Amino acid sequence: MVYHESFQTVKGTINWDDPMYKLYEKAKKQGKWNPADIDFSQDRIDFQSLSNEEKIAALPLVAGFSAGEEAVTLDILPMIKAMARQGRLEDTMFLTTFLHDEAKHVEMFSRWQQAVGVGDMDLSIFHNDSYKRIFYEALPESLERLNTDDSPEAVIRAATVYNMIVEGTLAESGYYAFRQIFKKAGLFPGILQGIDYLNMDEGRHLQFGIYTIQRLVAGNDANYKVFIDYMDELWEHVIGYVDYLSALGEQQKKLAPTKRLLEVDYDMLRNYAVKQFNIRKNKIDRAKKYNSVDELEKALTEVES
């Protein structure tokens, strides 16, 4: 039996200055969009006007996002439970908005697939082994562990794969690819609007991950090593997936060498993913210079206010 020994809000109040509380406030203001309000009618017309080769070229990214959004929606609960068990009220409050955001993201892609007429297609053919290692295995494994173990190591590993790799590296690169392909081609205004909303939501999710890992690695070399080792272990699969998308693009180029509407510069996408990965590492590196969690939290609060 688990008991509460006391309640924060009867001894005092919510900590209004807590960075996670501030994120919760931000989420309430920014997170008001509704996927059901996005008009996908032009996307449907655009998709129907593409050749079969071009239609296929548009789908791998959607296949990556649809399953990715579903995975994070299904897998995040143990993180919420772990923060709640630790009595981290402000983190838990923010995470209620986080799960809701992810649910809207799954809805957005599913609605698009249905609107353009690929709702019944099995898009998992676009998931290679690297993608599967991350989304079918590492993500659920690391999050599931939090059900029984909320040690700093377990929390860092979960936030590393979820926030730093899936969100901070892959999703960020995915938004870049979406804009590069579809915006440039003047196609799919509905999904592009959805991507702008997602991007804004993910900014808040990333702040949760950065804050969570930073507070655990501040002044703790062993915890920092857990973070950096897991980042490096997962990198092989990130790049394995990005290179696979690029190989698919090359294949399609050979099938339809002329009149290409959906052109992607895969070198740029690869460079972008490398850059995102290094930005995430640097953010966590910065926390090492603080000797304690208190010192770091004070600095973070100052930055936030």
Q: Which residues are at the interface with ligand DAO (CB under 6 A)?
A: 61, 64-65, 68-69, 72, 102, 105, 166-167, 170-171, 173-174, 177, 202, 205, 242
Min dist CB 202 to Mn ion, Å, is: 6
Residue 261's binding partner out of Mn ion, Fe ion, ligand DAO, none, with CB under 5 to 8 Å set by partner kind:
none
Min dist CB 13 to Fe ion, Å, is: 29
Residue 174's binding partner out of Mn ion, ligand DAO, Fe ion, none, with CB under 5 to 8 Å set by partner kind:
ligand DAO
Nearer to ligand DAO, 93 or 177 (CB): 177
Residue 242's binding partner out of Fe ion, ligand DAO, Mn ion, none, with CB under 5 to 8 Å set by partner kind:
ligand DAO
Contact residues for Mn ion, defined by CB under 5 A: 69, 102, 105
Q: Show the CA angle centred on residue 54, arms to residues 188 and 73, nearest 5°.
A: 55
Nearer to Mn ion, 65 or 290 (CB): 65
Asked if 38 and 194 touch (Cβ cutoff 8 Å), the reply is yes
Min dist CB 171 to ligand DAO, Å, is: 4
Min dist CB 102 to Fe ion, Å, is: 5
- Using rule CB under 5 A, residue 205 touches Fe ion: yes
Min dist CB 90 to ligand DAO, Å, is: 20
Which two structure tokens, joined as six digits, stand for 173? 């690169």
Most distant CA atoms of the chain, gap in Å:
70
DSSP SS3 for 50: coil
Give exposure, 246-255, as e/b (b: 16+ Cβ within 10 Å).
bebbeebeee
Q: In whole angstroms, how far apart are CA 121 and each of 113, 131, 138, 144? A: 9, 19, 26, 29
Nearer to Fe ion, 157 or 205 (CB): 205
> Residues near 298 by Cβ (< 8 Å), separated by ≥ 6?
none
DSSP SS3 for 89: helix
